[in-house]
Structure 1
Amino acid sequence: AGDEQVADATAGCDTASDKLRATIAAIIEKGDHYRHRIAVLNRETKSLSPAARARVLAHYRTLLRQIADLVSEGVASGEFREVEPEIIANLIDGACDIWPLRQFAVGEFGRDRFNAEVAEFVIAGLRRPATRPKRAAGAKPR
């Protein structure tokens, strides 16, 4: 998912959850399309020329920053619990990379189901826990 792909994917999304779902779908779709390149880049980045490696890593850092910004947006709005956005961004990207890198393990489920499961797992983990109403003083638990 490039700079414009994340922006395009999140256009029209209102909530941080919707934006993350759309971003996850875009990353998985791109991973599906560029499966071979992603496998090479994940394993062979050190073998790239210094200039090529710098370009790849700059692109990657931009993507991670965009994901972290979406997570921060959800935290700021109260939609998500307090988390370290950069760690969560890396977890999201790593989970999405399972699709192109581990087809032997997840390919049988299909891209749509994989996408739905990853998105729900991420969003459920980020959601702010529901607060229980406080009992009145002296009230007994049920």
Structure 2
Amino acid sequence: MPLSEHEQRMLEQMERALYAEDPKFATALEGSGLRTYTRRRVYQAVAGFLVGIALLMAGMVAQVIPISVVGFLVMLGCAVLAVTGWRKAPKPGEQQTLGDTAGDARRQPRQSRQRKSVMHRIEQRWQRRRDEQGH
């Protein structure tokens, strides 16, 4: 669900305040997004696909069927990884939502879950302040 204009302005103010207060922490959070992770995963899958092609060709040249089969399986696995990584990558301009499901949280690294819980608490506090100001 997209953010309203008011919410976007408030988020921008929070980001500016974070950069002003702790620029090192803000830049560390900026570079560790889901988009960067999925892009790296897709690149690794493409490199693995090329290795699979090399194994397949080497197996054919050496006439060793098991090497060719392994090369094909590597190619297939890397193709699946690349496609699923590409589909999961957020589009440019899209924001990652903070309210992911519990199943997603189990699959994420521990540090990412901690960062998300901190962001969730900040979001809850912000919502409480906003509700108090509105009344």
| Structure 2 length-normalised TM | 0.28
Higher relative contact order (CA 8 A, sep 6+): 1
| Structure 1 length-normalised TM | 0.27
